[in-house]
Amino acid sequence: MKMLEVGIISAKETYPLRLKVLWQHKNSLNECGIDVDDLSGTFHVGAFKNGELVSIGTFLIQKNEKFKEKIQYRLRAMATSPVVRGENFGKKVIDFALVELKKRKVELLWCDAREVALGFYEKIGFKTLGDFYDVPIIGRHKLMYKKIN
């Protein structure tokens, strides 16, 4: 049996980690869907450790006017179980997505990164644009991006 598997998963499979790691203020799994989950072009990536889903990310077509690239994707609802932090599962999710994004001719991936996650994104090659801004309920974020070539 493989120790690690990474691949495309369904939106619903992301709900438990979204609730546990990102959105503890929500009351149930049913509240963990987002409006972009099922849009054309959206895909969800999951990393598994011993069969358990431990890291997720949702990738969708969304242009940010602060960037000149024509074909952009946005990363949303990235989460890794605290139990496996530092074991590179988040990096595996991003690496898998970058291969998929290259196939789709995407030029830039951007996200609203939580303050606690800035180091993670910097370590895997994302750059910061601008200052901190506040996302209600969630907290301070910075706009981060990675050019894809």
pLDDT, tens digit, 9 for 90 and up, residues 69-99: 999 999 998 999 989 988 999 999 999 999 9
DSSP state of 115: G
Looking at 20-24, 63-67, 77-81, which range is the least confident one?
20-24
| 3-state class percentages of the chain: helix first, strand second, coil last, to nearest 5 | 30, 40, 35
The predicted model scores a pTM of 0.89
Q: Where are the domains of the chain?
A: 4-147
Assign residue 41 a region (left: φ > 0; alpha: ψ between -120 and 50; beta: otherwise): left
Domain covering 4-147: architecture: 3-Layer(aba) Sandwich (3.40)
Q: Quick check: 19 and 30 in contact, CB under 8 A?
A: no
| Residue 119 reports pLDDT greater than 50 | yes
Which residue matches tokens 């994302």? 126
Q: Helices in 3-144 by DSSP H: which ranges? A: 11-17, 89-103, 118-123
| Residue 3 reports pLDDT greater than 70 | no
